[in-house]
Amino acid sequence: MDFFQVLFDRLTNAFSEYVLTPIMNIGVIDIIDILLLTYIFYVVYAHVRERRAGTLMLGLGILYILHFVSGALGMSASYAIFDAFYQIGAIVVLIVFREEICDLLDKIGSGMFSLRNIGKRQSHTLASVTATIAVLSDTAVELSRERTGALIVVERNSKLGEYIKNGVMIDGVLSCELLGNLFYNHSPLHDGAVIIRDGKVCAAGCILPSSKSTALPKELGTRHRAAVGISEQSDAVVIVVSEETGGISIANNGVLKRGYTSGTLKDDLFLLLTGDNGKSAKRKGK
């Protein structure tokens, strides 16, 4: 009985010291601090939840809880071990999560500093964006009809230079004919991705990273996994045409949406590439 009383007292004291006392002394700066950390944790969680890093982060969280509990209960041996890990935890995180951290910083940077591209985006008229969408949609529908596989990546704020370099530079005017020839079954570049930059066909035959997400259906092939993979690591919009079924899909922000028709494909591409809900709604109403 004495053991449980001591345990209860220690837990109560720890709760009072680390939870109740800080709450009672919260000020305006503390609230701002909490909101900032909440946002950072949310961004990190949203980035890693469908990746291998998600389970590793969960493991680190459990170790941190054990570190806190062992210290609160006076478990000196366990606390010494967990404390040693806690001291080098930052280095371990940097080593283990180096790829995920680079991807996360790239997403944050492209989002926070996208204002610098406002003038550039405004120089592209609505007509040119609509024309690009029309070509992409018509090409996807035609390739779907012919059961020709395709993987088309539309670059946005996140630059895809490293993937453009591993392909073949095209720098051609975007057209249904050019895209059809690039994805023709006997074309040497048909298995890779085509990357669209500033309304032009920048490169073809590009190799993309494959998603490691376990949430994707097992029947999906390498094209779909590559589409989701590049959308996890950038803000690109990716169009996929299945060679087996002719189905059209869009990958964006790590999410794959399937079963598109010509009309729904144009509407979603317009929304994703312009971010204009109002204009998209008008287009749907036509």
The span from the CA of 164 to the CA of 41, in Å, is 32
The span from the CA of 156 to the CA of 237, in Å, is 8
pLDDT tens profile 220-241: 889 999 999 999 988 899 999 9
Instruction: Select, from the ranges 7-11, 98-102, 105-109, 170-174, the one with the highest average predicted confidence (pLDDT).
Output: 170-174
Predicted confidence (pLDDT) at residue 261 exceeds the cutoff of 50: yes
Question: Could you tell me what percent of the chain has a pLDDT over 90?
Answer: 35
- Whole-number pLDDT of residue 208: 94
Q: What is the average pLDDT across 249-273?
A: 91
pTM: 0.59
Predicted confidence (pLDDT) at residue 49 exceeds the cutoff of 90: no
Comparison of pLDDT for 56 and 5, the residue scoring more? 5
Mean pLDDT of the residues in the chain: 79
Instruction: Select, from the ranges 28-32, 65-69, 261-265, the one with the highest average predicted confidence (pLDDT).
Output: 261-265
- Whole-number pLDDT of residue 115: 44
- Domain positions in the chain: 2-112, 120-285
Tokens of 60: 């680190």
Burial class (CB in 10 A: 0-12, 13-18, 19+), 2: exposed
Answer yes or no: are the C-beta atoms of 228 and 153 closer than 8 Å. Answer: no
- Whole-number pLDDT of residue 121: 46
Of the given ranges (145-149, 174-178, 213-217), which has the lowest mean pLDDT? 213-217
The CATH T-level fold of domain 120-285 is YojJ-like (1 (3.40.1700)
